[in-house]
Amino acid sequence: MKNNDTSNMFWVLVFSMVLFLVPIDLFAQRLIHSGGGRSTGRSGTFNRSARPAPRPMTRPTMPSSRPSTRPSTRPSTRPSTRPSMPATKPVQPYNPSTRPYDPNKKPPGTRPPSNNRPPATRPPGNNRPPGNNRPPGHNRPPNYHKPPHYHRPPIHHGGFYGWHGYHYHPYRPYFWGPYWHPIGFFVRTMWATAVIIEVNSRPYYYNSGVFYIEGSGGYNVVPAPAGAVVVSLPEGFVKVVVQDSPYYYYGGTFYVQTSGSYEVVSPPIGAVVTQLPDGSKEVDVDGEKYVVYNDTYYRPISQNGIDSYEVVEQEN
């Protein structure tokens, strides 16, 4: 009896070891074939080649690393070099609607609204009406000759500009000899020494510093036309320097020298002479006496203690 128990225990131990050493999957296959499960052959032997393929996964396998949609390096939106800033910050113009006015920080060249003064106006008493106490033709633009590098005279007096102050002395007409005649003088016959000078397609007769035009029954003395050129000047002419420019004066007419000849010009502003011809008129301008000859205004002055006259420029 004892031997049988020992034999049974031995086989139980062997069977347990077999169960432990046989792989689980082989043991499962044997149970399937032996238990009437799905078989790949007629016999119940295990066929590894007939093992059904594993079921594919319904979820696709994701790659180990997702490709990046971003570039490896992000392009910079800023320029490589920052533009240089100006050395000084520009001053913004003053705008009272956007910021209050600060008297201690006033932009240059601007003025607050409270200091915007109206343009200067002359008091009513100084607004002289045109032609008041002045002869006809005063408001006409002057026909004065302006020397090269002309600078307007600094002295403004009585509506005229000049280089010398006003100094009244009585006007006395002057004559330049028996062959000289004032404007408007009439002669019946022309001098044999007279020459014909054409200016602006009009003929003039010139003799001893006097210009004539032919009229009804004779010849009339007229103002010297600007641009007329004569070969020589009569005795008694004087040289007048105006702002470093030389002029020549005779019988109320001014000349400039050109290539050995003399050309008639309008009276230069600032010219000073001691004599004015017959035919000049003394007029009152704002209570002061001026002398007018051939639409040119002369201011009575004193130069080096000598009574003289200065060609003045009318106020525009």
Whether residue 139 lies inside any domain: the answer is no
Is 205 inside any structural domain? yes
Domain that holds residue 290: 155-314
Q: Flag whether 148 is in a domain.
A: no
- One DSSP character per residue, 205-267 reads EEETTEEEEEETTEEEEEPPPTT-EES---TT-EEEEETTEEEEEETTEEEEEETTEEEEEPP
The answer to whether residue 249 sits within a structural domain is yes
pLDDT one digit per residue (tens) for the chain, 316 residues:
555 667 777 777 777 776 666 555 555 555 555 554 444 444 444 555 556 666 655 565 555 556 555 655 565 566 556 656 656 556 666 565 555 556 566 555 555 555 555 555 555 544 544 444 444 444 455 667 888 877 888 888 777 888 888 899 999 999 998 999 999 999 999 999 999 999 999 999 999 999 999 998 999 999 999 999 999 999 999 999 998 899 999 999 999 998 889 999 999 999 999 999 999 999 998 888 999 999 999 999 998 889 999 999 887 6
- Give residue for tokens 């296959």: 29
Residue 79 lies in a domain: no
Query: Is 223 a domain residue?
Result: yes
- Number of Cα atoms under 13 Å in the Cβ half of residue 179: 16
248 is a domain residue: yes
187 lies in a domain?
Answer: yes
When divided into structural domains, the chain yields a total of 1
This prediction's pTM: 0.56
